[in-house]
Amino acid sequence: MILMSTDQPVVPTKAERRLCESLHLRDEESEALLRAMHLGKAARQAVVFSPRAPQAYEPPFACAESSRFPWLPARVRIPVEGEKPTRYADYTLGLYYVLDLSSCWEGAALSALSGAPLRSLDMCAAPGGKSMLLAAHVQLLDHTANEVHAARRGILRQNVELCGLPNTRVTGWRPEQWSRSGELFDLIMVDAPCSGQSLLCKGMKNPGCLGKNVVQGNAKRQRGILSAAACCLAPGGYLLYTTCTYAPEENERSVAYLLRRTSEISACDVPALAAFRSTLSEFPSYRLLPHHGAGAGGFCCLLQREK
Ligand SMILES: C[S@@+](CC[C@H](N)C(=O)[O-])C[C@H]1O[C@@H](n2cnc3c(N)ncnc32)[C@H](O)[C@@H]1O
Task: For residue 264, give every residue at least 6 positions away whose Cβ sits within 8 Å of its Cβ, in sequence order, or none.
Answer: 305, 306
pLDDT at 2: 45
CB 206 within 8 A of CB 158: no
Are 35 and 138 members of one domain? no
Residue 80: what residue type? Answer: V
Domain that holds residue 199: 102-305
User: What is the Å distance from ligand 1's center to 166 Cα?
Assistant: 21
Residue pair 107/209 in contact (Cβ under 8 Å)? The answer is: no
**Residue 10 CB neighbours (<10 A):** 17
**pLDDT at position 11, please?**
83
CA of 67 to the centre of ligand 1 (A): 31
| Residues 106, 245 within the same domain | yes
244 annotated active-site: yes
pLDDT in tens, the chain (307 residues): 444 455 566 789 999 999 999 999 999 999 999 999 999 999 999 999 999 999 999 999 999 998 899 999 999 999 999 999 999 999 999 999 999 999 999 999 999 999 999 999 999 999 999 999 999 999 999 999 999 999 999 999 999 999 999 999 999 999 999 999 999 999 999 999 999 999 999 999 999 999 999 999 999 999 999 999 999 999 999 999 999 999 999 999 999 999 999 999 999 999 999 999 999 999 999 999 999 999 999 999 999 999 9
Query: Which phi and psi (to 5°) does residue 191 adopt?
Result: -95, 85
DSSP 134: H
Are 111 and 250 part of one and the same domain? Answer: yes
Confidence at residue 6, expressed as pLDDT on a 0 to 100 scale: 52
The verdict on the CB of residue 221 being under 6 Å from ligand 1 is: yes
Residue 35 and residue 168 in one domain: no
What count of Cα atoms within 13 Å lies in the side-chain half-sphere of residue 246? 29
28 and 125 inside one domain: no
User: 126 in ligand 1 pocket by Cβ < 6 Å?
Assistant: yes
Give the integer Cα–Cα distance in Å for 290 and 181. 39
Q: How far is the CA of 227 from the centre of ligand 1 (A)?
A: 15
Does a structural domain hold residue 94?
A: no
Q: How many domains does the chain have?
A: 2
Q: Which of 104, 201, 209, 244 is catalytic?
A: 244
145-155: b (≥16 Cβ within 10 Å) or e: bbbbeeebbee
Global pTM reads 0.97
CB burial of residue 279 (10 Å; 0-12, 13-18, 19+): exposed
Is residue 145 lining ligand 1, measured as CB closer than 6 Å?
A: no
Cβ(147) – ligand 1 distance below 6 Å: yes
Q: What is the CATH number of the domain that holds 273?
A: 3.40.50.150
Give domain status of residue 64, yes or no: no
Residue 223 falls inside a structural domain = yes
Q: Is 107 in the pocket of ligand 1 (CB under 6 A)?
A: no
Same domain, 28 and 165: no
